[in-house]
Structure formats: structure tokens, C-alpha cells
Amino acid sequence: MSDFYHSEQDSDRFRNRLLVAGTGVLLAFLLLFGRFFYLQIVQHEYYSTRAESNRISLVPIMPNRGNIVDRKGIILARNYSAFTLEITPSKTLGLEETIDGLAEIVEIQIKDRRRFKRLLEESKNFESIPIRTRLSDEEVARFAANRYRFPGVEVKARLFRQYPEGPMAAHAIGYISRINTKEKEAIDEGGHGANYKGTDHIGKIGLEAHYEYDLHGTAGHEQVEVDAGGRAVRVLSRTAPIPGNNLTLTLDSQLQKVAEQAFGGRRGSLAAIDPSNGAVLALVSSPAFDPNMFVDGIRFDDWDELNNNPDKPMLNRAIYSTHPPGSTFKPLMALSALTVGKRTPGQAIADPGYFNFGNRRFMDDKVGGHGMVDMYKSIVVSCNTYYYVLANDMGIDNIARVMGDLGLGKKTGIDIPGEATGILPSQEWKQQRFKKKEQQKWYAGETISVGIGQGYNAYSTLHMAHALANVLNYGKVFRPHLVNTITNPNTGEVRTVEAEPVRQISLKTEHVDLIKRAMAGVVKEGTGARAFAGATYESGGKTGTAQVYSLKGGRYVAGQVKERLRDHSWYVAFAPADKPKIVVAVMVENGGFGAQSAAPITRQVFDYYLTGQTPGGPAPETEAPEDATDGPLIEEDAHEAD
Amino acid sequence: MKLIKRFFRAIVDHLDMPLFLIVLALMGVGLLTVFSATSSDGFEKLDKQLINMAVSTAIMLLVARTPPQTLMRFAVPLYITGVILLLGVALFGIVVNGSRRWLSLGLVRIQPSEIMKIAMPLMLAWYFHKHESLLKLRHFLIAGLILVIPIGFILKQPDLGTSLLIGASGFFVIFFAGLPWKIMLGLGAVGGAALPFAWSLMHDYQRRRVMTLLDPTSDPLGAGYHIIQSTIAIGSGGGLGKGYLNGSQTHLEFIPEKHTDFIFAVFSEEWGLLGNGILLVLFTLLIARGLMIAAAAPTMFSRLLAAAITLVFFIYAFVNMGMVSGILPVVGVPLPFISYGGTALVTLMLGIGILMSIQTHRMLVKK
């Protein structure tokens, strides 16, 4: 063929090889085409979805949490907006490097890193986690200028919860804090998982916890196109969140303030209820804490201090601490006796100053006794002997039945979590309470101390206020509640929490009126007279003393007992005396006898609520009189006494 | 007027129209895709690539005018210079990104391995041409030595992609020179047996690349990320693509190296299987034309050179598309005429120039 080829053989071989190569090329390209066909046709759906989920990120938009205002509209819990610096760990180039780099631009403290680490362990990989909260405007600007260096890092405007009144009514309002694993599970189980995707705070105690799902609102979401750095490029669609409902409380925050001040830091609690509808007007647990500390994650030292404080500021004493009510139990005992027909008002006993039962002797606190005592007098002078005899006549199960009807020994149903049941002793209760057979038996002697509010009896101040309110309301029982109305901010729809009574106890009007009159007598001429001297209104009350320390064979002298072993001071009261607008139960731990600490606090609360008079300072403690008419029970063994 | 006419003739005389049109079409696709991949940064990259194309086309024309006999004269000096420079790199090279690939010559930095891409086929084609009449096994052994020395240097840098391309170009010359099939099979068997040994010699990052190829999901945020994202881009493109400038994987920065080594993912996402088919056809035409030129080439030198260069284009295209679509490991090989970058384009157009020179000087030689 060609002159230039040395041999035909050579040329043929070359062409042969070209053919081999060409075939190889075609096969290789066919292989590629096959691969493309597989990816683009066979697997197209799959890769489309992958590309879309790369591209589109569904960002939940947190709804604004509802506000909490008191009955007069004073804001108790609200939200404010602040900038946070957040990291999406999966989108950073290196977590440590990113944080170190950020630390050069904005201040990042050890505690921020620590919190970040903790949140990182709890979170899923694609979530953004705050490394810094509450950035200053300058820090935001500095970060914005350096943003390109930090893929996966964003400044977000977040709403923070704020409690403008600080510790005021903290136990009732509660607080929100980061959702923990257990709460997360509860949310998911309750079917709220989707709604809480973008939420990282939840109500922990108080109203914030009880009304969590009302306050939370409905989350919205944004479909956002994101780039590989995790930055939103544009918003594709948006469903607006629906803000949470606002709560309007029955609580009167000025009254609450007066009551808290009256405690002056002393340990104790107070519950004030409007008897006509069960509205809680004030709910004090002293000492308190500042709920704002929890919102952003509480600092370790603060937490430590709250937990190790011997005064236990986190404890909601008004609903959780239960104590024997002492003599404040007597008006309820009297009413029970009238109701079951064991006494008439005029029936009187001769009080020798003690009551012998078997070989034991129960002492009155007045040596020599009160003389002839009828029901009215028994309340006014707080005669123990009258109630020893009465309790013995009624029997424990009769007492338990009527007291249970009045609301003692069970939860009142108040709209905050953590309520104690209290102890209303009965034969049945004792059987359930104790395991050993010999302990399960109820002794008739035990009934006698129950009759004067001691023994196994244990109630919270809320219990006592609730029971008294039920009496004053002639048996109409309202559930105590802190929230008056729930308002939907979108529709303006208002829902009233508690409008109707939940049940009716059958009480006779004349019986209730007698109790009211006797309690007014306490204030006029009895154990409460000193605390209410000079009041411009009439009120009814009853002092009480709960024994902390049982003295065997000696008289109780307050000054000789260590502070923590002093008696608890109780006072239950209502005002005005004829048509009560407010019922109060107060307990001051180790406050001595009832008239000493608890009654003066009640005086300040009534003064403010009925006359608008604000006190100058904490309620004073009255001096112990020579002959304390409301001293503690001293139970002596008759043999020892003789 | 006459002058212009003469100038025009001078250009056209040595232009192989079919080859030129195919290359123009490929470069057109390249420009479009480079713009799509870099549009977020404006026209800067597009402008630069236009200049790269103009310069490399000029070089192509210049080479096309150069007769193969003249080209042959460059073979030995170019090869020796290349080897010396590679030695220089090994001794005084500059380390960039962990690889010692560059050599500083005062003002300019050069990458001597790039010279080898042309020097290797030239050298081997010259060598076989010289011993055309009495090819013995010995010659193939020497040719193997000529091939292995520079590749050793380049592997050491390390630069797997370039070693592969240069190795392929040299091998193709030897293959077309008539390396007996028996020896090839034997070499293949030895190579297969040596794989574990090669594995032990590989750098960590090279091993990782192979591992990631076998299972990209094993390291989805590290080495596997590139392959995963590019296959997502290709797959989501579907039959007809998402439309020009509409590739979400591209424009939301999910594709790494999207205007250079991974540009095929960009193209494929926006033009779909249809676009891929057209691109494959263009490359097939390019290779077919190159093989035709080789078949018609009059001398041993020119036909070996033409065939080897043509198959190097194939290797470029196949390895690149294979790695981007996830069937080959990630080696730094650009998609010919499409990927952004001046150096690679100049080398490629030099190759096209050589093909044109061989084609257009065929008759002259005959005469």
C-alpha cells in the first residue's frame, strides 16, 4: 500500500491495535453512559430527594410564649428578644477550631463552653446549639464582618423569658428552663413532638408548668433553601406560628407583695382565697428565689446555694409543706360536731383544766381550766378540754368523714403542680400508712389529740384556707385557682378557668353562722384581739400552734427552746366578718404561738386588701403574754403528772 | 487585502476542520459550564477561561503549522529537560498542599510533570520510530525504562493523577508500537500480584481515596463528601436536567471543585442524561477523528504519536467522568476542554496541534 511502511504486517498490526483501542473506548463510554443512566433515570427519584433535602431545610419557628399578668394587668412573665450565637455542629469545619475562632471575636467564657458541651450531648447533630446568649450589638456586628470564616455559625434572634417582678410569687408563677430528656419523652408521648421541634424551653414548676400547652402556642415553620454552609439563601414558604395564650391571674400582685413583705424573710407560707369563687388572691412561700436565674441555664454556684440553703427557698411551702394545724382546727371540729349532731351550740362542759382518758391525762394550757365552756367560748378562748371531750365523743372516723368533706386530706386541685395530699387521720388511713399489724390499730387515745389539731393531722396553708373558704361559702366548693382567664391573643377569645362550683357540702346556715360569729369573737375578745387591735373592719380568725418538739413533763417556754424547735405559728382568718371577701391561712415556721407571728401578718394583709393601707415593714411579732391562752398541747402521762 | 488572505490561508492550511469543530464545540460547552459554576463570582473566571482558550488555540495553530519532523527533533531534548526538572523538583521543589510538585525558576513557577505529558509520547514515538525496522524485545524494555523513570519521580511528589496520565500516554505508544499481547498479559498478572505491595507504598490520602470509592458513605463528611455530593448532582439531574443555571447542588455550593475537576457534575445536573449523551458523543467523535488521523499517518513516529495522544484524551475524559460519577477513585484529572484552568488547556491544545500537524503534513510528506 504505502511505500513508507516497511511491511504490510506492521501496518496491519497497527490498524488492528487501533481497532482494539477504538472498541475499548466505545466500551468504556458505554460503561459511563450506563452509569449515567443508572444515576439519572433508575435512581433519579432517590437522588432528587437527596438533592432536595440538601437544599431545603424545614426550620421550625418558635411561637411567642404567652404572657402572664396579674388580675390588674401587671406583667409577671413576658418575653424579650436577644441575639444568640449558634453553631450547627454538623456544618462546621471543626467544632473546636470554630469555637476557638469565635472566641477571638466575641467573649466566650468557660461556662459558655461547658453549657455548649452539655447541650451538644443532648442534641441531635443537625440542631443549632447556642454558644453565647445575649450578644451585644457590637458583638453582632463583629461577627457579621467575620461570618464567612465560620460555616455553620449563625446569629439568631431568640426570645427569652423574663419575670419582671423577680422573686415575687415565684413559686406560683414558676419558671421555664431547658427541656430535659425526660420532659422530651413526655412531650413526644403526649403527641406534642412536632410542635416542640424548635422549642428548647419548657415550664418546670408553677403556672409555667401547669399551663405549658396553653402558654406554648403552635410552632410555625419556614421552608428555607440552604447552601452547603448551612446558611439560608432564601425562604421558600412560611407558615406563621400561633402565639401562646395569655394568662390573667386571680392573683393580686400588690397584695402578694404586701404579704411577702409581712413575712420579712421568715420561713412560712400564706394562702389567700376569695371564698365566693375560689380565686387565689395571694400565695406566699417564704423565702423565695428569683426565677430569672433559671431561664438561661442556672449558674452552678447559684444552684448549689439554692439547694444547700437550710431555709429551702425552692420549696413551695404553701402547697407542699404540711403541719398539724393546731387550734385552727377547732372551728372545723365545732362545725363537724354540729353537722353530725354530736353537739348543740348551747351545750357546755365544765373544764377542770384537763381531760382524763384511761390512765392518761390531757392538759388544757390554762392551769385550772376555763370554767363552763360552750361552743362559742370554746373557739374564742381556744379551750382544749372542750375538744378532747368532743373528739372522744365523735370518734376518729366521724371526724375524718366531715373534715374530708370540707376538703382536708386530699389535693385541693389548685392549678399548679406539686400539691401535697396532707394527712387526715382515720382508721383506714392508719391501716394503709403502717405495715406492721400492731401499728395499724387505731387507739381511741389518738383521737383526742386529733381533736385539737395535733397528732397525725398535717395540712398545708392552702388546705386550711380552702376548707375555711368552703365553710364560709356555706358548703359551696370551688377549686382554688390562680388563673382567672386564658386569652387567645389571635382570636381574642377568652376562656374562664373556674366559673362553677365543683361540689356542694351539706352544711346548715345557722351552723356556719355560729362558727363565723365565734371566729369574729376570737378577734374581738379572744386570742386574736391583740393583733387586730384598732382595725377599722371586723374580721374573724383563729390562732393555732403546731408542736414541733414534745416536752415530757415540763412546760413549754419559748425562750428556752432552740429556734428550729420552736412551735409553728398558725392563723386562719376571713374579712369582713359578715360577708367575707378574703380568706387567709398563714403559717410561720418556728414562729411560736399563733397570735405571735401569723396573726400580725394576716393583719397587714387584711389592712391592705380592705383599706388599701400599705404597711411600713414586716409584721411585728407580739410578745408572749404571761398566760398564753393558745399554748401548745402538753400531753402528760397521768402517772407522771401525779 | 492580499496580506490578510495569505494570513488566513496560512491558518486554514494546517487546520483539520472536523477536529477543530469538535474542539470548538467542547470548549463552548466548557465556557457555558464554567460560567454556571462560577456565576456567583461574576464574569471573572469566564473572562480568564476565554483568554486561556484564545492563547491555547494560538499555540495549537502554531504547532499545527510545525511539521512532524520538526516536532520529532524536540523529543529527546524535551524529555531530558523534563527529567532534569523533575529531579530538581524532588530536590528543591516547593511544597503546596502536602505535595512537592512545583519548581521555582526565579520569577516563574513551573510544574515539570506537565512538560512530561507531551515529552513522554514524543520521546517514545521517536524512540520506536528510530528502531522501526528491527524492533526487538530489548527495545520494549528500554521504552519501559524511559516510561518508568519520570513516573517514579512524579509518583514520589506525590501526584497520582498526573502519573496515571503520563503512564497511560507512554503505555499507549508502546502498545501501538506492537507490544506483544503475551507480554501485556504477563505484565497485567504481575501488576495484579503487586497490588498489595503497591497498597503498602501508597500514601494515606491515596488509600483513603480508594477506600472512599468502595464505600463513600463510610466518611460522608470527609473524603466521601465529594463523591456523594457529585453523584447526587448527577442523579438529581435526571433525563433532561434541571436547566441551565438551575442546578441546586451547584449553586448552593454542595459540589466541591465545581469549576475544575468536578465540573462534570455541574454540567450533568443542569443538562441531564441528554447532555451527558451529547458530551459522550462529542468525545467519541474527537477520539474517532484522532484515531483516523493516526490510521492515515505516514510515519511510525506520527502514527504512534497521534494514536497515543488521542487515547490520552480518552483517558482524561473517562477518568474524570468516572470519578465524578463515583466509579473511579478521585484523582486530580480535569475534564478535557471543559474544566477551568490554563495549564491543562494549553497541554491539551498542544496535543490537538500535534494531531493537526500530523494530518495536514501527511500529503506534503507523500509528495
pLDDT tens per residue across span B252-303:
888 888 898 999 999 999 999 999 999 999 999 999 999 999 999 989 999 9
Q: Is B280 in Cβ contact with A32 (below 8 Å)?
A: yes
**Smallest CA–CA separation between A124 and chain B, in Å?**
16
Residue in the block written with cell 496520565: B165
pLDDT recorded at residue A437: 86
DSSP assignment string, A144-188: HHHGGG-TTEEEEEEEEEE-TTTTTTHHHH--EEE--HHHHHHHH
Contact A103, A95 (CB under 8 A): no
Q: Is A233 in Cβ contact with B238 (below 8 Å)?
A: no
pLDDT recorded at residue A107: 87
Q: What is the pLDDT of residues B57-94, one digit of tens each?
A: 999 999 999 999 999 999 999 999 999 999 998 888 88
Q: Give B50's contacts (C-beta < 8 A, 6+ positions apart).
A: B31
Segments of chain A scoring below 50 in pLDDT? 1-5, 552-554, 626-642
Q: Coil, strand or helix: which one is A57? A: strand
Q: What is the pLDDT of residues A88-116, one digit of tens each?
A: 887 788 888 888 889 888 888 888 888 88
Interfacial A residues in 14-33 facing B (CB < 8 Å): 14-15, 17-18, 21-22, 25-26, 28-29, 31-33
Q: What is the pLDDT of residues A582-624, one digit of tens each?
A: 999 999 999 887 788 999 999 999 999 999 988 888 888 876 5
pLDDT recorded at residue A7: 57
- Three cell numbers, residue B211: 477506600
**Smallest CA–CA separation between B157 and chain A, in Å?**
27
Q: Would an 8 Å CB–CB cutoff place B288 in contact with chain A?
A: yes
Contact A556, A590 (CB under 8 A): no
Q: Is A32 in Cβ contact with B325 (below 8 Å)?
A: yes
Strand partners, A283: A271
CA angle, corner A337, sides to A333 and A339, nearest 5?
Answer: 115
Alpha carbon distance A337, A394 (integer Å): 7
Interfacial B residues in 213-272 facing A (CB < 8 Å): 221, 229, 231-239, 248-249, 252-254, 268, 272
CA angle, corner A591, sides to A585 and A592, nearest 5?
Answer: 110
Alpha carbon distance B305, B70 (integer Å): 14
Catalytic annotation, residues of A: 327
pLDDT recorded at residue A638: 33
**Smallest CA–CA separation between A63 and chain B, in Å?**
29
pLDDT recorded at residue A262: 94
Of B235, B307, B311, which is closest to A47 when you measure between CB atoms? B235
Q: For residue A92, give the chain B residue with the closest CA.
A: B221
Residue in the block written with cell 458513605: B217
Q: Is B178 in Cβ contact with A17 (below 8 Å)?
A: yes
Alpha carbon distance B32, A420 (integer Å): 76
Of A18, A33, A47, which is closest to B231 when you measure between CB atoms? A47
Q: Is A18 in Cβ contact with B176 (below 8 Å)?
A: yes
Task: Enumerate the domain spans of chain B.
Answer: 24-65+209-367, 75-179
Q: What is the pLDDT of residues B113-151, one digit of tens each?
A: 888 999 999 999 999 999 887 788 889 999 999 999 999
Q: For residue A93, give the chain B residue with the closest CA.
A: B221
Q: Using alpha carbons only, how large is chain A's radius of gyration in Å? A: 36
Q: What is the pLDDT of residues B314-353, one digit of tens each?
A: 999 999 999 999 998 888 889 999 999 888 899 999 999 9
Average pLDDT score, chain B: 88
Q: Is B234 in Cβ contact with A39 (below 8 Å)?
A: yes
Domain A256-290+317-641: give its CATH code. Answer: 3.40.710.10
Q: Is A50 in Cβ contact with B178 (below 8 Å)?
A: no
Q: What is the pLDDT of residues B229-255, one digit of tens each?
A: 999 999 999 999 999 998 888 888 888
Taking domain A57-169+221-249, whether its CATH number is 3.90.1310.10 is answered by: yes
Which residues of B are less than 8 Å from A21 in CB distance?
172, 175-176, 291, 307, 311
Q: Would an 8 Å CB–CB cutoff place B283 in contact with chain A?
A: yes
Q: Would an 8 Å CB–CB cutoff place B296 in contact with chain A?
A: no
Q: What is the pLDDT of residues B161-181, one digit of tens each?
A: 888 889 999 999 999 998 888
- Three cell numbers, residue A416: 399548679
Q: Would an 8 Å CB–CB cutoff place A40 in contact with chain B?
A: yes
Which residues of B are less than 8 Å from A51 in CB distance?
232-233, 235-236, 248-249
**Smallest CA–CA separation between A92 and chain B, in Å?**
10
Q: Coil, strand or helix: which one is A271? A: strand
Q: Coil, strand or helix: which one is A90? A: helix
Interfacial B residues in 313-332 facing A (CB < 8 Å): 314, 318, 321-322, 325-327
Contact A63, A490 (CB under 8 A): no
Which residues of A are less than 8 Å from B132 in CB distance?
6
pLDDT recorded at residue B263: 95
Q: Would an 8 Å CB–CB cutoff place A236 in contact with chain B?
A: no
* A234-266: b (≥16 Cβ within 10 Å) or e: eeeeeeebbbbbbbbbbbbbbbbbbbbbbbeeb
Q: Would an 8 Å CB–CB cutoff place B287 in contact with chain A?
A: yes
- Three cell numbers, residue B163: 502519573
Interfacial A residues in 66-105 facing B (CB < 8 Å): 90
Q: For residue A232, give the chain B residue with the closest CA.
A: B252
Alpha carbon distance B261, B318 (integer Å): 13
Contact A349, A373 (CB under 8 A): yes
Does this complex have an ipTM over 0.90? yes
Q: What are phi and psi of A124, to 5 degrees?
A: -90, 160
Q: Would an 8 Å CB–CB cutoff place B212 in contact with chain A?
A: no
Alpha carbon distance A612, A590 (integer Å): 29
Alpha carbon distance A276, A476 (integer Å): 9
Task: Enumerate the domain spans of chain A.
Answer: 57-169+221-249, 256-290+317-641
Q: How many CB pairs under 8 A join A and B?
A: 127
pLDDT recorded at residue A639: 32
Of A10, A21, A225, which is closest to B252 when you measure between CB atoms? A225
- CB atoms under 10 Å from CB of A316, counted, come to 25
Interfacial B residues in 144-183 facing A (CB < 8 Å): 172, 175-176, 178
Of B236, B284, B365, which is closest to A51 when you measure between CB atoms? B236
In a mutational test of the B interface, the residue from A9, A25, A91, A92 whose CB has the highest number of chain B CBs within 10 Å is A25
Which residues of A are less than 8 Å from B365 in CB distance?
4
Q: Is A40 in Cβ contact with B238 (below 8 Å)?
A: yes
pLDDT recorded at residue A119: 78
pLDDT recorded at residue A301: 84
Contact B275, B259 (CB under 8 A): no
DSSP assignment string, A495-508: EES--S-SEE----
**Smallest CA–CA separation between A3 and chain B, in Å?**
9
